[in-house]
């Protein structure tokens, strides 16, 4: 795998799975914010497209020893993104301060190599044009351009919100590269009723995620693949942490 840059600011998401109720507010706020068209067949999961998806986890034991949890999955914003290495047209890249993996729709030729390469199933291909029910396009937001069929899309950690936060900082004469905690949070984090999601600069000790990501309860999905995600999970439950790595035999601790 080719080498990727290291950035001074690394936007990171930490999800406390012990606080997540699987309510879906993150998914819905994401869809509305980022102009994902509602689909009548959405109850058929093969037709739906979600930048944020919630997986259900179970310890596999029978009732009453059973335990279960939900795992919200946005794009992991990998430090070594497998999707970027395979994109033939540089439609996706990890090349901007903050470490958010970009997705440039007009460049995308729809080859779907990235979809196949992503181990987290975080990328979705538009098999259909986005059609809003008549009139509902009036509620489209200015944040994300609508995507036609034939291109791949994914979570951007609401990159536009970062732009707005930087804009605001500049207007107020503050340093846009040193945003205070919560000046920029994605829609999912903002909406979460139980406060299961934390967001901030992983490299900034003033941001809570900096400490949370180092917690002994923290883990990342399929960590052993070496993708180095910027999305962390925490859980006090060992079985949850183990499943996060698909229970592969432990080799070395990163």
Partner 1 sequence: MGVDRRAVIGLIAGGAVGTMFTPAIWKTTGSIALWSQNWGWIPRIPKGERKYAYTTSKLCPSGSGLKVLTVDGLPLTAAGNPAHPLSQGGVSALGLSECYLLYSPARVKKPLLKTGAQFKEISWDEALGLLADKLKAAGGKAAAISGDQNGTANEVISALLAKLGCADKFFLMPSEGQAAGRAWQLMGGHGLIGYDLANADTVLALGADLFESSGATMLNARSYSAQRSSLDKPAAKLVYVGSQRTTTAYASSKWVPCLPGREAAVALGLAALLIKGGASSDAPDFADFKAFVSAGYTPDKVEALTGIKAEVLEKLAKKLTEAKKPLVVAGSEFGQGAPGAAYMAALAVNILLKRINVPGGVYATPEFPKVVDGALSRTQMASADLVKYLSSVAAGKTPAPELLITYDANPAFGLPQAPAMAKALAGAGFKAAFASFMDETAAQADLVLPASLPMERYDDVVSPYGAPFAVYSLVKPLLKKPVHDTKAACDVILAAAAKAGLALGADSFEKLLKTKVAAVAKSGGFIAGKDASPSAALAGKDVAAFSGDPWKALMEGAAYVVASPVKQDGLTLGTKTLAAALKADGAKAEDGALALTCAYKTRSGSPAVGIPAQDLTAVRDTELAGTKTVATLNAATAKMFKLEAGESIKLTGPAGEISALVALSETVMTGVVAVPMGFGHTAFDDFSKNKGQNVLAVMTATEEPATGVNSWSGSKVKIAKI
- Residue 254 engages partner 1 in binding (rule: CB under 8 A): no
- Residue 146 engages partner 1 in binding (rule: CB under 8 A): yes
> Which of 38, 176 has the CB closer to partner 1?
38
- Residue 56 engages partner 1 in binding (rule: CB under 8 A): yes
Which residues in 67-106 contact partner 1 (CB under 8 A)? 68-70, 105-106
Instruction: Out of 3, 6, 64, 249, name the contact with partner 1 by CB under 8 A.
Output: 64
Which residues in 231-250 contact partner 1 (CB under 8 A)? 234
What sign does the dihedral 174-78-89-186 (CA atoms) show?
negative
Q: What's the min distance (Å) between Cβ of 224 and partner 1?
A: 24
> Which of 139, 250 has the CB closer to partner 1?
139
Q: What's the min distance (Å) between Cβ of 233 and partner 1?
A: 11
Q: Rounded to whole angstroms, how far apart are CA atoms 78 and 5?
A: 11
- Residue 205 engages partner 1 in binding (rule: CB under 8 A): no
- Residue 134 engages partner 1 in binding (rule: CB under 8 A): yes
> Which of 105, 125 has the CB closer to partner 1?
105
Nearest CA to 193 out of 28, 32, 41, 56 is that of 28
> Which of 205, 249 has the CB closer to partner 1?
205
- Residue 171 engages partner 1 in binding (rule: CB under 8 A): no
Show the tokens assigned to 85. 């290495």
Count of residues that bind partner 1 according to CB under 8 A:
79
Query: By CB under 8 A, which span of 3-11, 50-58, 92-100, 111-119 interacts with partner 1?
Result: 50-58
Q: How far is residue 241 from each of residues 64, 68, 130, 230, 238, measured CA to CA in Å? A: 21, 12, 37, 16, 5
- Residue 6 engages partner 1 in binding (rule: CB under 8 A): no
């Amino acid at each position: 795998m080719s080498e990727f840059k290291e950035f001074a600011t690394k936007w990171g998401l930490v999800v406390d799975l012990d606080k997540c109720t699987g309510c879906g507010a993150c998914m819905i706020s994401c869809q509305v914010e980022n102009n994902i068209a509602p689909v009548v067949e959405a109850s058929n999961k093969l037709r739906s497209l979600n930048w944020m998806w919630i997986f259900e986890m179970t310890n596999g034991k029978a009732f009453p020893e059973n335990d279960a949890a939900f795992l919200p999955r946005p794009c992991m914003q990998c430090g070594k993104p497998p999707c970027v290495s395979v994109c033939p047209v540089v439609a996706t890249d990890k090349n901007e301060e903050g470490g958010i993996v970009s997705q440039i729709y007009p460049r995308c030729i729809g080859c779907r190599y990235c979809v196949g390469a992503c181990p987290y199933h975080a990328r979705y291909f538009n098999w259909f044009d986005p059609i809003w029910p008549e009139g509902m396009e009036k509620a489209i937001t200015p944040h994300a351009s609508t995507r036609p069929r034939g291109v791949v899309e994914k979570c951007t950690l609401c990159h536009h919100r970062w732009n707005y936060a930087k804009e605001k900082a500049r207007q107020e004469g503050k340093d846009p590269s040193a945003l205070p905690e919560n000046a920029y949070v994605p829609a999912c984090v903002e909406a979460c009723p139980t406060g299961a999601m934390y967001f901030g600069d992983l490299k900034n000790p003033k941001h809570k995620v900096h400490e949370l990501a180092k917690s002994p309860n923290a883990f990342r999905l399929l960590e052993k693949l070496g993708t180095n995600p910027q999305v962390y999970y925490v859980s006090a439950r060992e079985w949850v942490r183990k499943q996060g790595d698909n229970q592969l035999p432990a080799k070395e601790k990163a």
